[in-house]
Amino acid sequence: MGGAPVTGDRALPPFSAPPDTSALAPRAAACRVLTWLAAHELAAIVALTPLVLAAPRAALLALWIVPALWLLRTRHPLVQRGGLDAPLLCLLLLLPLPLFAVTDWSFALPKLVILLLGAALLRAVRDGLTDIHAWRWAARAFVAALAAVALLGLVATDWTSGKLLPLEGIYAHLPRLEGLALPRTSRGGIHPNEIAGTLALLLPLAVAVTLSHQGFSLGRLALAAATVLGFGVLVLTQSRMGYLGVLGGLFVLLVGWIATRGGRWGVGVATLAALLATGGIWLVANRLLLAAAAVGGGSLETPGSRLELWDRAFLMLRDYPFTGVGPGQFSAALHAHYTTTQVVAGVWVAHSHNLILQIVVEHGIPVAIAWFVLLLSVVVHLFQVVRRGDREARTIAIGCMGGLAALHLYGIGDAISLGAKPAILLWAMLGFAEAQYRLHQTQRQGSTMSAPAYGPPVAHQVGWSDVSGRVQWRGESGPV
């Protein structure tokens, strides 16, 4: 008889084949990959960075993985109280506003992709540096980045002759990277001011990392060599704003070093040094402006052309207060809607030659407010580390503050926009500074012992645990 078999008083269910799960295999594999990437977010974002810098349009598809990583992470909530998540989330939510003003997506899309990568890198660096040893290696990585930028500058820069120093003989003997043809450049290379701005951001931190390395070793020698190389290439750029920025960043480093080592007397001496430094920087800026006035008319290097660009940028801000002109749209908007007398018509103008003004003009007032709240939060956290941290933490925190100060002094007469390729290092530095602040906070809350500053191993182990969504320090004594 047909139907289900009967055993005693209970009928057995009819036989059925197991369900076919072959269609679910790709989805399960994708979930496993995403879960692994979420656990190794920093490595994933760092691996993605070269792709984005080389081909930002193609990398736009790859960046869709970043929100998935944030949602899959369970160690930290998406938005944490008292950190950078709130202003960063506001910035990302407001980012569609400047896109409404975009007229040429061939310029806007690369800027947008790099800005999104920068935001992802900030979170990845902040959350990935979960112990003091990883943080130290990250500090050395910034010095390695300085050396890489300096070496790239040596072989890929369009050097400018007859500007401040007679360096033509040196330029003639420098190697040149063959086949380099960057768009919208005079000779296919990188503008020296862009190299100078990147070096200005990194040099104060590199000096601080070198000074914090105790004792004499090959490691400290390598750090010092990379720093000296960075200073050498900075001199070759002949960038007035680069010189001014690095000078100001080093003064911040010096004043911070004096203030944290002399008690009340140190604070007084540091205040006096800061006043003298301000006067010195003003005198240097005056001399640099006089040197700039000697440059021929029609050049973007003259004070007249800079003042005109600032004036037109304020007009753009008046016309587009909420959306800005859009990322990468400054030159198109300048020549399409505004007249210039100092700037030759049709010449590509990448930015307004002022960092703060460029951020507001490109992205609008709401996005700019979110950015500066983010930046101010980092500076406040660095001040807390300087006030209460140990010697190593204070030195490197002052180095970060010096780098940010150098970039903004450089930004008085030049700019690196938030979506420019060198800005990746700025986003990474913000994440590094926030990771240092978290380490400092957890040490204050629960640590009784700390790892040595580049010294021999000591009789304890350092680890991290995640309790109730909050990272806590764990130190355990034991024999070496």
* pLDDT tens sequence across 229-284: 999 999 999 998 999 899 889 988 888 887 776 655 555 555 666 666 666 665 66
Q: What is the DSSP letter of 177?
A: -
* Per-residue pLDDT at 346 exceeds 50: yes
Sign of CA dihedral 175, 178, 181, 186: positive
pLDDT at 168: 85
* 3-class DSSP assignment, residue 128: helix
Mean pLDDT within 384-396: 89
Please say whether the beta carbons of 6 and 14 come within 8 A: no
Cβ neighbours for 275, distance < 8 A, ≥ 6 positions apart: none
* Per-residue pLDDT at 344 exceeds 50: yes
Q: Which helix (H) or strand (E) holds 136?
A: helix 132-156
pLDDT at 463: 36
| 37 pLDDT tier (thresholds 50, 70, 90) | low
User: What whole-number distance in Å separates Cα of residue 158 and Cα of residue 440?
Assistant: 43
Task: Find, among 267, 209, 188, 152, the residue nearest to 432 by Cα.
Answer: 209
| 67 pLDDT tier (thresholds 50, 70, 90) | low
Q: Is the pTM of this model over 0.95?
A: no
| 26 pLDDT tier (thresholds 50, 70, 90) | low
User: What whole-number distance in Å separates Cα of residue 261 and Cα of residue 249?
Assistant: 19
User: What whole-number distance in Å separates Cα of residue 270 and Cα of residue 264?
Assistant: 10
Q: Distance of CA 443 to CAs 141, 194, 448, 475, Å?
A: 23, 38, 8, 10
Please say whether the beta carbons of 224 and 216 come within 8 A: no
pLDDT at 284: 60
CA 412 to chain centre: 18
